[in-house]
Amino acid sequence: MLRFARLSFGILVLALGVMGVFFSFLAIVDPVGAQLADDHNPFATPPSEAQSLLVMGGYVLVAALGSWLLFNKRREYGNGG
């Protein structure tokens, strides 16, 4: 049961990380278009490239955590013998 929960959580975290990297990449490629998608303030100055790269790095870390949860094989030890 714990393995199922870990795999489910890993898939969810990995998917969120990959989507975040994709949308961060789009924000780097087209910063004005990414700012226009902001309904609260569509005509504001778009975020800098450094800020977009920082956000992308955060999503890469989230995706790495998800892949670690999915693909890390824990060693199971016996009862000491």
Q: What is the pLDDT of residue 79?
A: 59
pTM of this prediction?
A: 0.81
Q: What is the rounded CA–CA span in Å between residue 67 and residue 14?
A: 6
Tokens of 5: 């929960």
pLDDT in tens, 8-45: 999 999 999 999 999 999 999 999 888 887 788 888 88
Q: pLDDT value at position 53?
A: 95
Residue 5 banded pLDDT, cuts 50, 70, 90: confident
Q: Per-residue pLDDT tens for 58-67?
A: 999 999 999 9
> DSSP class of residue 40?
S
